[in-house]
Amino acid sequence: MKLSRFGQKFTSGAGIISLMDDLGQALGGDDQVIIMGGGNPGHIPGFQSLLKERLQEIASCDPSIRDLVGIYDPPQGNISFIKHCASLLRNEYGWNVGPENICLTNGSQTGFFFLFNMFAGRFADSSKKYIRLPLTPEYIGYTDLGVEEDLFVSTRPRIEYLEDRMFKYRVDFERIEIGSETGAICVSRPTNPTGNVISDREVNKLLELSYKHDVPLIIDNAYGVPFPSIIFTDATPMWDENVIKMLSLSKLGLPAVRTGIIIAREDII
């Protein structure tokens, strides 16, 4: 069997495939396993009890079960969910978003595949653009998402040494080089696996750079604010028309649901 270049790339050696295979195999058997990270959220009895009750309500309601299993959603995602999500973000955080600013993907990993290949790679004029990572280390799952090779360029961080043998990665704004070859800036907040959380000041300075160079700022909030907020330092939930925000239900306690939430201006959605 001969595979295309696309087929070869996405069936061999991808870091995210190896990671997810390890997670699935570890939890798919009967052996007792001690989970020491990797991505699966904790099993919280109160939350799972709430989900069980809600699923029982859905199963006992004919219109609800029909909607769940028997109706195609539009490409943007489930309309009712999107409307409620927009309402939540407006009411709780004051974000100027409506249903036209939100779409759903089959997990945030799929969402990043779309976004990275929309804004980087080979363009119609034969130019090539890249995704700028303003600091590393970054999330391993990004590595293999480009249809083309070498989709990313990164900047070494400034390392701030703290007390008790601790340190923190900071964006080194003096070294970031953003030119016509940059298609988008992307940063995760917090970053997996380091747990690094860039500050509000760093986010605002990256946003300024994105406006200056007319590129979007992609912020991966799979673990961050506004939800699931697995974060232990100050971080203000924010959105702006030049920001593409990626949220996920996985770390909220629903990994098997595979739902990524992209929040962006209407033309990007």
State the CATH number of the domain containing residue 250: 3.40.640.10
Same domain, 65 and 188: no
User: Same domain for 198 and 80?
Assistant: yes
* Residue 2 belongs to a domain: no
CA separation for the pair 84, 74 (Å, rounded): 16
Residue 106 sits in the same domain as residue 91: yes
Residue 14 lies in a domain: no
Instruction: Please tell me the predicted confidence (pLDDT) of residue 144.
Output: 85
Beta carbons of 151 and 121 less than 8 angstroms apart: yes
Give the pLDDT confidence score for residue 37 in this predicted structure: 58
Residue 30 within a domain: no
> What domain range is 46 assigned to?
42-71
Confidence check: pLDDT of 36 > 80: no
- Is 162 found in the same domain as 64? no
Confidence of residue 143 (pLDDT cuts 50, 70, 90): confident
Cβ proximity of 247 and 239 under 8 Å: no
Q: Could you tell me the two tokens for 120?
A: 């980087």
Residues 184 and 247 in one domain: yes
pLDDT tens-place string over residues 204-257: 999 999 999 999 999 999 999 999 998 989 999 999 999 999 999 998 889 889
% of the chain with per-residue pLDDT over 70: 92
pTM over 0.85: yes
Q: Same structural domain for residues 114 and 211?
A: yes
Region 160-189: what's the mean pLDDT? 95
What is the number of domains present in the chain? Answer: 2
Q: For position 40, what pLDDT does the model report?
A: 72
Predicted pLDDT of residue 29: 65
Average pLDDT, integer, range 2-10: 85
Query: Could you tell me if 8 and 137 are in contact, meaning their C-beta atoms sit under 8 angstroms apart?
Result: no
Angle made by CA atoms 127, 107, 12, in degrees to the nearest 5: 60
Verify that 141 and 54 share a domain, yes or no: no
Compute the Cα dihedral for 154, 155, 160, 161 and give only its sign.
Answer: positive
Distance (Å) of CA 53 to CA 26, 57, 104, 146: 28, 6, 24, 41
Measure the CA–CA gap between 264 and 241, rounded to whole angstroms. 7
Q: Are residues 47 and 87 in the same domain?
A: no
Is 4 a domain residue? no
Kindly state whether residues 173 and 219 are assigned to the same domain.
yes
**94 belongs to a structural domain:** yes
More confident residue, 171 or 20: 171
Is there a single domain that holds both residue 109 and residue 148?
A: yes
Model pLDDT, residue 125 = 93
Burial of 24 (0-12, 13-18, 19+ CB in 10 A): exposed
How high is the pLDDT of residue 137? 93
Same domain for 99 and 146, yes or no, is: yes
How far out from the chain centre does Cα 63 lie?
32
Q: Which range, 6-10, 11-15, 26-30, 95-99, is most confident?
A: 95-99
Of 18 and 213, more confident: 213
In-domain check, residue 64: yes
Higher pLDDT, 31 or 171: 171
